[in-house]
Amino acid sequence: MLKKKKPFVIAIDGPAGSGKGTVSQKLSAKLNYHYLDSGSIYRVIAYAAQKENIEPGSINSLVDLVANSNIKFTAKNIWLNGDRVSDEIRTELISKFASEIAIHDKLRTAILDYQRSFCKLPGLVAEGRDMTSIVFPDADLKIYLNASVHERANRRYKQLISKGNDVNLSDLTREIVKRDSRDKDREVSPLVIVKEAWVLETDDLSENQTVDKILGLFKGI
């Protein structure tokens, strides 16, 4: 009997500003794979919660909000109940709120199947904090992208300034350090380096060099 073909999954985790987003997008485009930016799901929920005046600690209201929201990804945009929210979810305020709501087990469970629904043939590049550990524990290739706090804050600074935001590098560095500890020290699905993961330090690598390194690992499988 013919064996059913399974999508090839590349799972990429790493802290804020490690370059996961751009690297994963480029990788998925090169391979013609699907792409999951799991952080943006937390961001959309955070954005919706903020609009509804729901506190980050109000877990039941957050779960209700997820059940009643229509989150959609198209090639270049993210939509919430028919509104384009691609830029609105990228502010520092939403970064913080997303990290605060991400501590809830009930919320994480509520979006688990949705995240897994992105896994389709021929393959998927999924990035976030728990892609290698919880969402795709059987991924074919697992990567942990890292960079120093200094480098990550600088990248974020340049990114936000280029979009016309008024930001301060030391405030950004402080926020990244706080977000790191919330994402790594939480009880549920913390950011960890799983033992099968290839750890790539990206301080001295361009995005394209990082993509090439991952492609090299991919070809070696």
Give residues in contact with ligand DC (CB under 6 A).
16, 38-40, 42-43, 95, 98-99, 102, 128-130, 179, 183
Supply the minimum distance, in Å, between the C-beta of residue 102 and ligand DC. 3
Backbone CA torsion sign across 177, 135, 53, 165: positive
The CA-CA-CA angle for residues 47, 49, 50, to 5°, reads 65
Q: How far is the CB of 18 from ligand DC (least distance, A)?
A: 9
Instruction: Rank residues 13 and 31 by Cβ distance to ligand DC and give the closer one.
Output: 13
Q: How far is the CB of 4 from ligand DC (least distance, A)?
A: 27
Instruction: Label residue 128 left, alpha or beta by phi (over 0 means left) and psi (-120 to 50 means alpha).
Output: left
Nearest to 44 by CA among 73, 3, 15: 73
Closest to ligand DC by CB, 1 vs 11, is: 11
CB of 206 to ligand DC, least distance (A): 20
Distance CA 44, CA 136 (A): 21
Comparison of 100 and 220: residue with beta carbon closer to ligand DC: 100
Q: Which three-class secondary structure state does DSSP give residue 183?
A: helix
| Sign (positive or negative) of CA dihedral 115, 118, 146, 39 | negative
- Residue 111 or 215: the one with the smaller Cβ distance to ligand DC is 111
